[in-house]
Amino acid sequence: MKDISSAIQLIPLENYVFLSVALFSIGMMGVLFRRNTIAILMCLELMFNSVNLLLTAFSAYHSDPAGQVFVFFIMIVAAAEVAVGLSIIVMMKRNVDSVDINLLNRLKW
Amino acid sequence: MVALISTIAWLVPAFPLLGFLITGLAKNRLKNNQAGIIASTLVSFSFITAVILFFSLRSSGQDSVTVTLFNWISAGDLKIPFAFLIDHLSITMMLIVTGVGALIHIYSIGYMHGDERVNSFFAQMNLFTFSMLLLVMGANYLILFIGWEGVGFCSYLLIGFWFKNPAFNYAARKAFVMNRIGDLGFILGIILLFFTFKSVSFTEVFAQAGTLQAGAPLITLITILLLVGAVGKSAQIPLYTWLPDAMAGPTPVSALIHAATMVTAGIYMIARSSILYNLAPITLNIMIGLGLATAIFAAVIGLRQNDIKKVLAYSTVSQLGYMFLALGLGAYSSAVFHLTTHAFFKALLFLGAGSIIHAMGGEQDIRKMGGLRKKMPVTYFTFLAATLAISGIPPFSGFFSKDLILTKAFENNPVLYVLALGGALITCFYMFRLLYLVFFGDQRLSSAHPHESPRVMTIPLIILSILSVFGGFLNIPELFGGKSGLGEFLHSAIISKVTEELAGSTEIGLIISSLALLGLIILLAYRTYVKKAIIPAEDSKSLSSFSKAITNKFYIDEIYTALFERPFGFLSDFFFYNVENKVLDAAVDGIGTATSRLGGLARKLQAGNMSFYLFAMVGGILLFIIFILIV
Amino acid sequence: MILLIILLLPIVTGLFLLLLRNPATVRIIALTSAIVNLLITLGLIISVPSASYTVNWSHFMGTQFSLGFDGISLIMILLTNLLFPFIILSGFTRAHIKIPVLNFLILFTQSALLGVFLAQNAFLFYIFWELTLIPVYFILLLWGGENRRAITLKFFIYTLTGSLFLLFGIIYLFTLTPGIHTTDFSAFNQLHIPAATQTWLFWILFVAFAIKMPVFPFHTWQPSTYTMASKQGVMILAGVLTKMGIYGALRFLFPIVPQGVVYWQNTVIIMCLIGVVYASVIAFRQTNIKRLIAFSSMAHISLMAAAMFVLNYYSLQGLFFQVISHGVTIVALFYVVHLVQERTGTLELPQMGGLKHAAPNMAILLLIVVLGSIALPLTAGFVGEFLIITGLAQFSIWFAILGGSTMILGAIYMLYAYQRIMLGDINPAYIKVKDIRALDFFVLIPLIALILILGIYPQPILNLVEESVKAMQNLIPVN
Amino acid sequence: MSALILLTVFGIIVLYLGFANNKKILAPVAITGLLISMFLSIKDWNLGSKYFHDMMIIDNFSIAFNVSMVIITILIFLFGVNYYKRMEHHVAEQYALMIFALTGAFLMTSFSNLIMLFLGIEILSIPLYILAGGKKSSFRSNEASFKYFLLGSFATTFFLFGIALVYGASATFYLPEIKTYIAQFNGHLPPMLMVGLLFILIGVSFKVAVAPFHFWSPDVYEGSPTLVTAFMATVVKTAGFAAFYRLLGMGLLPLPGPLEKTLWVMTMLSLLVGNLAALRQTNFKRLLAYSAIVHTGFMMLAMLSQHDSSASVLLYYTFVYSLATVPLFIIFIYMKRASSGLEELSIFRGLYKQKPWMAVFMTILLMSLAGLPPTAGFLAKYRVFILSISQGYLAISIFAIVMAIIGVYYYFYVLRETFSESDNPNPIEISRLNSLLIVVCGVAVLLLGIFVWSVPI
C-alpha cells in the first residue's frame, strides 16, 4: 500500500488534477455537444471517472483511504444510474424510434 | 316680557316647519286648496307671533334677547348653541319675512290653483320660510349659515319647481352653485372669525371686535370673505347671473325669494356685522364699487328686457346694488330701510306681474301685452303704486329709502351721487316702459282673454300696495319733520358710520333736481311707448351693436360659459381621459402588463430543449466560478 | 369577553347559515345577528368605559390575541355595526342564487372588519386586515357586474400590494422592539425610532392605507371596482372598507412614526387635496352614475385624509364625525342608485331622466341623500365637513380653500346627477316604473333619519371621541 | 436508525407484494410501514444517536424532517389508492420506489459526512428517474424521465467533482472537520476549496431547483405522472432543503463572502424567474412547478438569514407548503379527468358550481401558497420575513415582498377560474377518501395557521 502511495506521489499532484479536469471537461463537452443519447451517457461516465481519478489521487496524497472508499460508492451508483439511463433510452427508442436528444422538446414554456 | 320672548320665540320658525311637515308628508292626501290654506295660516301665525315678539321686546326695555334652544355643536372652543337672537334688527326682518311671506302664501293659493304639485309647492314655500327665519333669527353666524344654505336649497327647489323643463333645472342648479361659491367664502369667513374671536356668536364677536385695529389685514380678510357670501346670495357682480335665470320658478317664488327676502339676506348679514365692517374701510370701498356697478349695470340691461319677470329681476339686482352702495357707505340702517321698502314694492311688482301672467295665460313677453289697464284695474293701480315707489316719486316708500341712500352718497362723494342718480333715472325709465307697454295702448295678443285675478290674489296686492305707498313713513328723515323712526329703532343693533350731515338746503336742492329729472324721464317714456306706441323690436331684428349687447345682457352668461363652464368640462374630460386613464391607471396597468410581458419572455426561456438546459447550467456554473474567484 | 362576542357573533352566525337552505330564514337570521351586534355595541358604548380581552397566542413570537378599544375604535365599530344591518337588509330584494353563501360572506366581512378595529396587536390587526379582503373579493367576484373577473383581480392585487408593505413595516417594527420582540401596539408606540428611519418607514406603512382609502395617485382601482360591484358589495366597500385605511393610518402612523408624519405632512395633505379637487372635477363628466359616486366618495375620503394629516383638534373631530356620516350617506346613496338601476335597467346617466314623474318618493329620498352628500347644514355631512374645514383653516387658509372647494364642486356634480336621473320631461321608457316599496323604506328611512339626526344633534358622536382626539392631537409636536 | 432499516424492509415487502397481484393491500401495507417507521423515528427524539462512525447523526432536526416527509408521503399514498386504480401492472413498484426514495431522503436529513449526502441524494434520485417515466407509453413521461435523469446525473458529476476538490483540500468528508478546516482560513479560501464548495452547493441547489439550475423542474413536473409530481414537489423538496440546511449548518456556515453572495443571487433569481414564468403559465402542473421555484426562493431566504430558528422556519415552511400542494394535485387530477385529460388552468372552471366545498378548500390551499392569512402559508412567510428582516436583509426582503405580490396574481388567477362558469360542464367526481384528504389538509392548513407557530428543533 505504501509503495503504491509513494509511487503515485512521484507524479506531482497538479498533474492528476489537471488530468481529471481535462477528462471532466472532455466529458462535459461531450454531454453538451453530442446528440446521441448513448454517447452522452458515455460522456457522463467519463465525468464520473474523472472524479474517481481525482479522489484516488487525493486519497493517495493524503494517505487517507476514505477517498478510495468513496470511489467504490461512486462506481456503484454510477452503474445503477447508467442502468436506469439505458432503460430510459430503450423506452425512448420504443416510443419514437430514435435516440436523438433534440427530439425531447415537447415539454416546454 | 323677556320670559315671554324666550318662551315663544321658537314658535316663529316652528310654524312654517310644521307647515312643511304637514304639507310635505301628507301631500298625497291633501286636496284642493287645503295645503295652501294650512301653509298660509301657519305663516300667518308666525307673523302674529313675530308681532307679539315685537311688542314684547319694546316693552321689555331690553335691546336684545338671546334664546338658546340646545347645544348644536360643542367641540373644544367651538361652542355653537342652537340659539335665536331677538333684537331690533332681527325682529324687523322677521316681520318682513313673515308678513310679506304670509301675503305671498295667500296669493299663491290663487296663483297655484290647479297645479298638480301644489302641495309640494306649499311644502317648499314653508320650508323656505322656515330657513329664512333661521337665517334672520340665528344668534350666531353658524345658525345664520344654516338658514343661509337652507334658503339657497329651497330656492333651488322652487326655481326648478316645474322640473319637466331642462332649462329650468339648469337655472336652478346654476342658482345653487353660484350661491355655493359665495357660501364657501362665507364659511371660511366664519371660520376665521372663530379663530380670531374664539366664538361665532354675534354678541361675543361684536363685543370683542373693538380690540382689533381698524383696517387690520385680518379683519379685512374676514369681511371680504363674508362679503363673498353676500355677493353670491344677494346677486351682485360678478355672481348675479343666477337671479335673472331664477325667474324660471313660479312667480310667487320670485316675489318671495328673489325679491323680498332671500336675496336680501346678504344685506342683512352685512348690516348685522356692521361693527366688523366699520373696522374694514377697504372692504367698504369694495362694496361701494360693487354696489354702484351692479346698480347701473343691471339697470342698463333692464332697459331692453322684454320678459316682464326678467325686467323685474334685473331691477331687483339693481336695487340690491343700491343697498350694497348704502352698506358700503356705512349707512347700514339706510340699507335695511331700502330693503324693507323694496320688499314691499318689489313683492308687489312680482305679484302684479304674476297676476298679469295669470291673466295672459302664461304669456310673459311684454311686447304681446298692452291695454290691460281697463281689464285689470286692481292690478293696474297696485302695479302703478309700486312703479312709483320704485322710481322714487314722493311720497311713495321708495322715495324715502332711495333718497336717503343718494344723500349718503353725496355726503361721501358727489360723483357717487351722480352715478347713483343716473342709475335711479334708468330704473325709472324701464319701469315706466314696462308699465306703459303692459297697461296702455291696445291689446296685442288676440288669443288671450285677460281678466282680473280672483280676490285671494288681489287682496295681498292691495295690502302690499298700501305698504308700498306708506312704507316710507317708517323712516321719515328729520328734514321732513320725522324722527328717522326705523333708523333709530335699529340703532341698538347696527352701528352706522357717522358722517357729516348735509345742510338742509343742499339736501332739498338735490331732491328737487332729482325729481325734475325723474319727471322728464317719465315723460320721455310716455312719449315713446304711449304716444308713439313704439313696440320693442322682435329678437331677430338687427340692432346697433350696443343695444344688441344690452339685449343680450352684455353676453355675460356666454362669457361665463366660455370662461368657466366649458373649461371645467374640458378639464373634467382631460383629467378623466388623459390623466386618469392614460397616466395613472395606465401606469398601474402598465406595471402589470410589463410584468406579464416579462413573464412571457421568461416562459420562453424554458425552451424545452435539452441542449439549451445543459448549456444554461454550465454557463451558470462558469459564471459563478468566475464570480467567486474574482470577488 | 363582550368584545369576543362582538367579534365572533357575525362569523359564527355566518357559518351556521351555510347549513341552511331556505333563503328567507337565512336572511332573517343574518339580519337578526347584525341587529343584535348593533345593540351590543350600543350597550357597550353607553355602559362600558373600557374592556379588553387578551389571551396569549404565541409566547414564541411575542404575540397576543388581544382585543380592546378606545374612542377611535368605537367609532369604527359603531359604523360597522350600524351599516351591516342595512347592508344585509338591502339584500332582501332580489332573488340571488346562493343566499346563504352571500350572507356568510357579508357576515365574514363584518367579523374581519370588527377584528381590524378591535385588535390591540399589530400582527392580529394585519391578519384581520387581510381577512377582510377575502370575503369582499368573493362578493365582488361572484356577484359583480360586467368585466368583474379582471377588475376584482386588479382590486385584489392592488390592495394587497399595499398590505404586504405594511407587513414588512410591522415585521420591521417587531424587530425593533426591545427585549422579547412583540407586535403589541403598546410596545410599538413606545419605540423611539431615529428620524431618518421614520422618513422611509412612513411610506412603507402608509402605502397600504393610502391604497385602501384611497388617496390621490393610489386610487385607480376604485372607480371601476365600485362601478361593477354588486349593491351589497359596493356598500361594504364604500361604507366601511375605505374607513379601514383611515383607521390604520391613525393606529400606525401618528403614534409610531410621528417624525415621519411631520416630515411628510405637507406632501400628503397636498396629495389629498389634489385628490379632492381632481376627483370632484372628474366626477362632473362621468356618465355612469356609480362611477360618478365613486369619484365623489374619493373626494370625500381625500378630504378626510387631509383632515387626518392636519391633525388638530377640529380636523380630527370632523374626521371622526365624517367617518360615520360619510358611511351612512354613501350607503344610502348607493342603495338609491341601485334602486334606480333595478327600475331602469341602466346606470348610464344619458339614458335616464324623468324618473320623478313615476317615482316621486324615490326622487325625494335621493334628493335628501344627495343633500347629505353635499353637506347641506342640518345634515350630518355638514357638521363633519365644517369641522374638517375649520381644522384645515387652522393649519393653512389655502388648504381650507382647496378642501372647501368640494362644497362647490360637490354641488355641481351631485345635483347634475340628480337632475339627470330624476328631473326632466316624462320619459316614455320609465312611465311604469314602480316607486319605492316597503323594503326600501325600511332601509332608507332609518339611514336618512340618521343623516338628519346627526346633523341636528351631533353631540353624542363628538363626545364619544373627545378623549381620543385629545390624546391623538398631542402625538405630534406642533410645528 | 431502526426507522430507516424498517423503511427499507417495507419497501422490499411492498415490492414482493406485487406478485400477489392484489392492488388493494399495497397502500395499507405501505402506509403501515410508514406509520411504524414514523413512530420509531419519534422514539429517538432528543437521543441524538450517531451511526457508522458518525457518518450519520440522527438528531431532532432529522427526526422532525423525517416525520414531516413521512406524513406527506402518507398523504400521497392515500392519494395513490385512487390514482392507481386504473393502473393494471407494476403498481407495487410505484409504492416501493417511493419508499426507497424516502429512504434516500432520510439519509439526506441525517448525514454528517459528504459520502452519506451523496448516497442519500442518489438513493432519492434514481427511483425518481424511474418514477418520472412511470407512464411507459407516454412520450411526455418518457421525456420528463430522461430530462430528469440526464440533468440530474450531470449535476451529480459536478457535485462529486466538488466533493473531490474539497476532499483534496481538507482530506476529509466529515462536515464538522471541513468546518474547522475552513475556519482556519478566516474567510480567504484557496481557489480549489472555494470552487469545490461552490460545486457542492450547486449540486444541492439543483436538487431543490434553485435558479439558474431549475430548468429541469417545470418540464419534469409537467411530464411526470401527477402523483410523482406531487411527490417531487413536496417530499423531494423537503429532503433537498433538509440536506441543504444541514450542509450549511453543520459545515459551511458562516459561508465565505463570495459563496454567500452567490447564494443570494440564486435566491433572488429563483424568486424572479419562477414568478415571471408562472405569470403567463397556462398548464397547471407547470404553474405549480414555477411556484415551487418561487417557494424555493423563500426557503433559501429563510436558510440564508442565519439564525437559531432558521431550521424551525424551514421545517414549518416546507411542511406547510407540502400540505397545501398535495391536495391541489389531487383536485387537479380530478379536474383533469373531468375535462378529458387537459391540464390547462381553465379545467378548474365550474368547480365552484359543482363542488362548492371543494372550491372553498381550493381557496384555502391557494391562499396558503400565496401566503395570505389566516392560513399557515402566511405564517410561514411571516416567519421567513421576520428572519430576513431581523437579520438586516431589508432590501432583499422588500424584493421578496414584491415577488410575493406577483405570486398572488397567478394563484388568484387559478382561483378565479375555479369560481367561473364552465363552458363544458362534465360531472366532477371526487372519491370520498380523496375528498376527506383535501378537507383534512385544508383544515390543517387553517389550524396550523392559527394555532401552531413553530416546532422546537
Backbone angles phi, psi at D174, to 5 degrees: -80, 130
- Please give the full DSSP string across B562-576, using - where no structure is assigned: IIIIHHHHHHHHIII
What are the structural domain ranges in chain A? 2-103
Question: What's the CA gap between B514 and B90, in Å, rounded?
Answer: 33
pLDDT band at D91 (very low <50, low <70, confident <90, very high): confident
Give the pLDDT mean for C152-163.
91
What are the structural domain ranges in chain D? 1-175+212-245, 255-457
- Higher per-residue pLDDT: B29 or A23: A23
Give the pLDDT mean for C190-204.
91
Mutation for testing the C interface, residue in D419, D446, D454 having most C CBs under 10 Å: D419
Q: Which of A28, A102, A109 sits opposite B611 (nearest CB)?
A: A102
Question: What's the CA gap between C421 and C363, in Å, rounded?
Answer: 9
pLDDT confidence of residue B358: 84
If you average pLDDT over every residue of chain D, what do you get?
90
pLDDT confidence of residue B364: 84
Give the pLDDT mean for C213-227.
90
Chain D residues touching B615 at Cβ < 8 A: none
Size of interface A-D (CB pairs under 8 A): 122
C-alpha dihedral sign at D181, D187, D190, D196: positive
Cα–Cα distances in angstroms (integers) from residue C357 to residues A91, B21, B521, C436, in the given order = 81, 21, 50, 13
3-state secondary structure of B394: coil
Chain D residues touching C137 at Cβ < 8 A: 412
pLDDT confidence of residue A13: 86
Instruction: Answer whether residue C479 shows pLDDT above 60.
Output: no
Report which secondary-structure segment, H or E, holds B70. strand B64-75
Grid cell, residue D65, equals 424532517
Question: What is the per-residue pLDDT across B48-95, written as a single tens digit (0 to 9) for each?
Answer: 999 999 999 888 888 888 999 988 888 888 889 999 999 889 999 999
C-alpha dihedral sign at B198, B200, B201, B202: positive
Mutation for testing the D interface, residue in A70, A72, A76 having most D CBs under 10 Å: A70
Instruction: Answer whether residue B539 shows pLDDT above 70.
Output: no
pLDDT band at A1 (very low <50, low <70, confident <90, very high): low
pLDDT band at C418 (very low <50, low <70, confident <90, very high): very high
**For chain D, which residues lie within 8 Å of any Cβ of chain A, measuring from their own Cβ?**
115, 118-119, 122, 126, 129-130, 133, 136-137, 139-140, 142-147, 149-150, 153-154, 156-157, 160-161, 163-165, 167-168, 171-173, 192, 218-220, 222-223, 281, 286
3-state secondary structure of B304: coil
Using the Cβ of D446 and the Cβ atoms of chain C, whether some distance falls under 8 Å is answered with no
Grid cell, residue B582, equals 392614460
Residue B215 DSSP class: T
User: Nearest residue of A to residue D120 by CA position?
Assistant: A77
pLDDT confidence of residue B542: 62
From A30's Cα to the closest Cα of chain B, the distance in A is 11
pLDDT confidence of residue C427: 80
Q: Are D109 and D68 in contact (CB under 8 A)?
A: no
pTM: predicted TM-score of the whole model, two decimal places: 0.92
Q: Are C320 and C461 in contact (CB under 8 A)?
A: yes
From B618's Cα to the closest Cα of chain A, the distance in A is 9
Query: How many C-beta atoms surround the C-beta of residue B454 within 10 A?
Result: 14
Q: Are B235 and B317 in contact (CB under 8 A)?
A: yes
Report which secondary-structure segment, H or E, holds B65. strand B64-75
Position B228: which residue type?
V
If you average pLDDT over every residue of chain B, what do you get?
87
User: Nearest residue of A to residue D279 by CA position?
Assistant: A109
pLDDT confidence of residue D444: 93
Q: What percentage of chain D exceeds 70 in pLDDT? A: 100
Cis peptide bond prior to D456, omega within 30° of 0: no
User: Nearest residue of A to residue D219 by CA position?
Assistant: A107
pLDDT band at B552 (very low <50, low <70, confident <90, very high): confident
Of all residues in chain B, what percent are helix, strand and coil, respectively (each to 5)? 75, 5, 20
Give the pLDDT mean for C72-97.
87
Query: How many C-beta atoms surround the C-beta of residue C266 within 10 A?
Result: 14
pLDDT band at C135 (very low <50, low <70, confident <90, very high): very high
CA C284, C151, C130 angle in degrees (round to 5)?
Answer: 110
Question: What's the CA gap between B517 and D47, in Å, rounded?
Answer: 122
Grid cell, residue B172, equals 336652478
What are the structural domain ranges in chain B? 1-190+231-265, 295-537, 556-630
pLDDT band at B631 (very low <50, low <70, confident <90, very high): confident
Q: HEC profile for chain C?
A: CHHHHHHHHHHHHHHHHCCCCCHHHHHHHHHHHHHHHHHHHHHHHHHCCCCEEEEEEECCCCEEEEEECCHHHHHHHHHHHHHHHHHHHHHHCCCCCCHHHHHHHHHHHHHHHHHHHHECEHHHHHHHHHHHHHHHHHHHHHHCCCCHHHHHHHHHHHHHHHHHHHHHHHHHHHHHCCCCCCCEHHHHHCCCCCHHHHHHHHHHHHHHHHHHCCCHHHCCHHHHHHHHCCHHHHHHHHHHHHHHHHHHHHHHHHHHCHHHHHHHHHHHHHHHHHHHHHHHHHHHCCCEHHHHHHHHHHHHHHHHHHHHHHCCHHHHHHHHHHHHHHHHHHHHHHHHHHHHHHHHCCCEHHHCCCHHHHCHHHHHHHHHHHHHHCCCCCCHHHHHHHHHHHHHHHHCHHHHHHHHHHHHHHHHHHHHHHHHHHCCCCCHHHCCCCCCCHHHHHHHHHHHHHHHHHHHCCHHHHHHHHHHHHHHHCCCCCC
Question: What's the CA gap between D129 and D147, in Å, rounded?
Answer: 9
Strands of B76-128, DSSP E: 78-87
pLDDT confidence of residue B540: 56
pLDDT band at C301 (very low <50, low <70, confident <90, very high): very high
Q: Which of D147, D213, D275 sits opposite B610 (nearest CB)?
A: D147
Question: What is the per-residue pLDDT across D361-372, written as a single tens digit (0 to 9) for each?
Answer: 999 999 999 999
Q: Which of C60, C134, C168 sits opposite D385 (nearest CB)?
A: C168
Chain B residues touching A108 at Cβ < 8 A: 606-609
Chains near B, with 3+ CB pairs < 8 A?
A: A, C, D
Instruction: Answer whether residue C478 shows pLDDT above 60.
Output: no
pLDDT confidence of residue D450: 82
Question: What's the CA gap between B17 and D449, in Å, rounded?
Answer: 60
Instruction: Answer whether residue D266 shows pLDDT above 90.
Output: yes
Question: What's the CA gap between C261 and B399, in Å, rounded?
Answer: 64
- Per the structure, the complete domain to which residue C414 belongs is given by 260-479
pLDDT confidence of residue A105: 82
pLDDT band at C91 (very low <50, low <70, confident <90, very high): confident
Question: What is the per-residue pLDDT across A46-59, written as a single tens digit (0 to 9) for each?
Answer: 999 999 999 999 99
Q: Are B136 and B80 in contact (CB under 8 A)?
A: no
CA B71, B74, B76 angle in degrees (round to 5)?
Answer: 155
Instruction: Answer whether residue D85 shows pLDDT above 60.
Output: yes
Size of interface A-B (CB pairs under 8 A): 29
Q: Which of C220, C281, C407 sits opposite B180 (nearest CB)?
A: C407
Question: What's the CA gap between D271 and B432, in Å, rounded?
Answer: 88
Question: What is the per-residue pLDDT across A25-47, written as a single tens digit (0 to 9) for each?
Answer: 999 999 999 889 999 999 999 99
Instruction: Answer whether residue D64 shows pLDDT above 60.
Output: yes
Instruction: Answer whether residue B407 shows pLDDT above 90.
Output: no
Report which secondary-structure segment, H or E, holds D51. strand D49-51
Q: Are B464 and B347 in contact (CB under 8 A)?
A: yes
From A57's Cα to the closest Cα of chain B, the distance in A is 23
Chains near A, with 3+ CB pairs < 8 A?
A: B, D
Subunit contact D356:C157, Cβ cutoff 8 A: no
CATH fold of A2-103 reads: Helix Hairpins (1.10.287)
Report which secondary-structure segment, H or E, holds B64. strand B64-75
Q: Are D351 and D359 in contact (CB under 8 A)?
A: yes
Residue B80 DSSP class: E
Report the candidate in B188, B20, B603, B500 with the shortest Cα–Cα distance to residue D282: B603
What is the Cα gyration radius of chain A? 18
Subunit contact D119:A73, Cβ cutoff 8 A: yes
Give the pLDDT mean for C104-122.
93
pLDDT band at B528 (very low <50, low <70, confident <90, very high): confident
pLDDT confidence of residue D13: 92
Chain B residues touching C386 at Cβ < 8 A: 73, 142, 187
Question: What's the CA gap between D121 and D115, in Å, rounded?
Answer: 10
Cis peptide bond prior to C194, omega within 30° of 0: no
pLDDT confidence of residue A2: 63
Instruction: Answer whether residue C268 shows pLDDT above 90.
Output: yes
Question: What is the per-residue pLDDT across C355-405, written as a single tens digit (0 to 9) for each?
Answer: 888 888 899 999 999 999 999 999 999 999 999 999 999 999 999 999 999
Give the pLDDT mean for B424-452.
83
Subunit contact A102:B618, Cβ cutoff 8 A: no
Using the Cβ of C408 and the Cβ atoms of chain B, whether some distance falls under 8 Å is answered with yes
Chain B residues touching A30 at Cβ < 8 A: none
pLDDT confidence of residue C61: 67
Question: What's the CA gap between B391 and D176, in Å, rounded?
Answer: 114
Subunit contact D219:B601, Cβ cutoff 8 A: no
Instruction: Answer whether residue D342 shows pLDDT above 90.
Output: no
pLDDT confidence of residue B541: 61
Grid cell, residue B418, equals 351722480
Instruction: Answer whether residue C454 shows pLDDT above 80.
Output: yes
Grid cell, residue D358, equals 371543494
Of B328-332, C128-132, C178-182, C256-260, minimum mean pLDDT range: C178-182
Residue D112 DSSP class: -
pLDDT band at C96 (very low <50, low <70, confident <90, very high): low
Instruction: Answer whether residue D238 shows pLDDT above 90.
Output: yes
Question: What is the per-residue pLDDT across A78-98, written as a single tens digit (0 to 9) for each?
Answer: 999 999 999 999 988 888 888
C-alpha dihedral sign at D66, D67, D68, D71: positive
Subunit contact C457:B72, Cβ cutoff 8 A: yes
Question: What is the predicted ipTM?
Answer: 0.90
Question: What's the CA gap between B287 and B271, in Å, rounded?
Answer: 12
Q: What percentage of chain B exceeds 90 in pLDDT? A: 34
Grid cell, residue C424, equals 326632466
Report the candidate in B616, B627, B625, A26 with the shortest Cα–Cα distance to residue D165: B625
pLDDT band at B538 (very low <50, low <70, confident <90, very high): low
Question: What is the per-residue pLDDT across C302-330, written as a single tens digit (0 to 9) for each?
Answer: 999 999 999 889 999 999 999 999 999 99
Give the pLDDT mean for B586-615.
88
pLDDT confidence of residue B1: 73
Of B1-5, C196-200, C224-228, D111-115, minimum mean pLDDT range: B1-5
Question: What is the per-residue pLDDT across B112-137, written as a single tens digit (0 to 9) for each?
Answer: 888 888 889 999 999 999 999 999 99
pLDDT band at C58 (very low <50, low <70, confident <90, very high): low
Chains near D, with 3+ CB pairs < 8 A?
A: A, B, C
Q: What percentage of chain B exceeds 70 in pLDDT? A: 98
Grid cell, residue C178, equals 426591545
In chain C, the number of structural domains is 1
